[in-house]
Amino acid sequence: ADKTKFDFWFGLSGDLEKRVQDVCGRFNAAQGDFEVVCTSQGNYDAALQNTIAAFRANKQPTVVQVYDVGTATMMLSEAFYPANKLMTDNGYDIKWGDYIHGISSYYATSKGEMFSFPFNSSTALLYWNKAAFEKIGKTEAPKTWEEVEADATKLKAAGYECPVAINISANESWQLLEQFSALHNEPIASKNNGFDGLDAELVFNKTKFVKYVTDLKKWYDAGLVKIKAKEQGQDMVQAFAGGDCQMIMTSVGDHGTVAKTAKDGLSWDVAPLPVYAGVKRQNSLVGGASLWVLKGKSPAEYKGAAAFLAFIAKPESALFWSTVTGYIPVTTSGFEYMKAQGFYDKAPYKGREVAIASLTAAEPSAVTRGIRLGGFTQIRAEVGNGLQEIFSGKSDVQTAIDGIVTRGNAVLRRFEATYKGKTLP
């Protein structure tokens, strides 16, 4: 019999795009009834925007990967088939309690229902060059921002031209604003980062974030921080893997890519992101994306989607996916299976446990559960614009961050008006 084909659109690109294709290939090889056709949309923003546009034209895929901060937009969109309902309708008994609580709670409704499947979960980490640190007499990564400044100064004096590299596009709102705020237990927005109402307002122009960006700019002016971008030939991950820059902050999802592309002999490791001295470290935010099923497809396609999602949820799939990327397992059974297989005892996977330690450093607070704000793609774009203004010297830090908040709040008010009378589920 002919196989039922269905589409899966996703946001990951580069090496991670190939790894998603590996997962699709494994599913297609594992059974004979369905064929998932997987297509990268280039990045997370595009995956969400293209899906919304396709939905309007009735050309949507059956399954789509939506990043963490797209959750509110999806939940209010009425474009999806709830994951929990899809699985029940197709005869699967998914143990939702098997999903690691900090991960499932990011995506769950206020009643604890799961409308999407956690897939690639991450957090941001500090990647550091051990050999360079040895040159300045250190065997450990800096734990505070004060230490980062001191270490970067010494690295610079020792001849390292790029002690810290950052990217400042919209995407890095994640590390620079969102993760930083969570670690310092500071809100991004009122109403518990939006979880408690569509009338939330951005507040990060009045938090420690302002001091942080002020310091980053000061360190940039002193040559301790360099800005990298793919458009200029090298993004920060490439700069780190190439040994050109000694510290970066990026997703543990990039761990596999760094391991694979690191220049010969590069000695490196990962550590939790630093916090300012005297701050009690909070848990970092769960990053990554979840998988949503869209409305308007045939029963056969839904059967395929359910089989695909059940396949991904298996412990063996967790082991495969985590091994080839850097993403953390999203289920307890996956994590236990990986430990039983000795995964974390082997280099270079050892360091991956740092991500779990960072995510569980404290019981999540009201502002470290996640972010649930509408239109967050546009808000991140505003964060990117504001950072550009600051680092190009066009605007002072406070003025630029006030501007991000004002424009971001306008995005939130438009979203609220679109869904007038509705509340988050």
Ligand X SMILES: O=P(O)(O)OC[C@H](O)CO
Residue 384 interacting with ligand X (CB under 6 A): no
Both tokens of residue 406? 């004002």
Task: Please report the DSSP string for 233-252 in residue order.
Answer: TB-HHHHHHTTS-SEEEEEG
Residues in Cβ contact with 206 at an 8 Å cutoff, skipping those fewer than 6 apart: none
Residue 67 interacting with ligand X (CB under 6 A): yes
Place of tokens 């307002």: 201
DSSP 158: T
Residue 127 interacting with ligand X (CB under 6 A): no
Closest distance between ligand X and the C-beta of residue 67, in Å?
4
At 200, the amino acid letter reads A
Question: Minimal CA–CA distance to 34: which of 63, 54, 64, 65?
Answer: 63
Residue 194 interacting with ligand X (CB under 6 A): no
Residue 284 interacting with ligand X (CB under 6 A): no
Residue 288 interacting with ligand X (CB under 6 A): yes
* Per-residue contact flags (x/-) with ligand X for residues 105 to 124, judged by CB under 6 A: ---------------x-x--
Both tokens of residue 56? 């309007």
Q: Distance between CA 107 and CA 111 in Å, rounded?
A: 11
Residue 69 interacting with ligand X (CB under 6 A): yes
* Per-residue contact flags (x/-) with ligand X for residues 136 to 175, judged by CB under 6 A: --------------------------------------x-
Closest distance between ligand X and the C-beta of residue 187, in Å?
18
362, exposed or middle or buried, with CB in 10 Å at 0-12, 13-18, 19+?
middle
Which one of 61, 243, 253, 256 is in contact with ligand X (CB under 6 A)?
Answer: 253
- Cβ distance to ligand X smaller for residue 19 or 303: 19
Closest distance between ligand X and the C-beta of residue 29, in Å?
25
Closest distance between ligand X and the C-beta of residue 63, in Å?
17
Question: Minimal CA–CA distance to 172: which of 420, 4, 22, 388?
Answer: 388
Q: Distance between CA 214 and CA 51 in Å, rounded?
A: 37
> For residues 16-45, which are near ligand X according to CB under 6 A?
44
Residues within the interface to ligand X (CB under 6 A): 44, 67-69, 120, 122, 174, 251, 253, 287-288
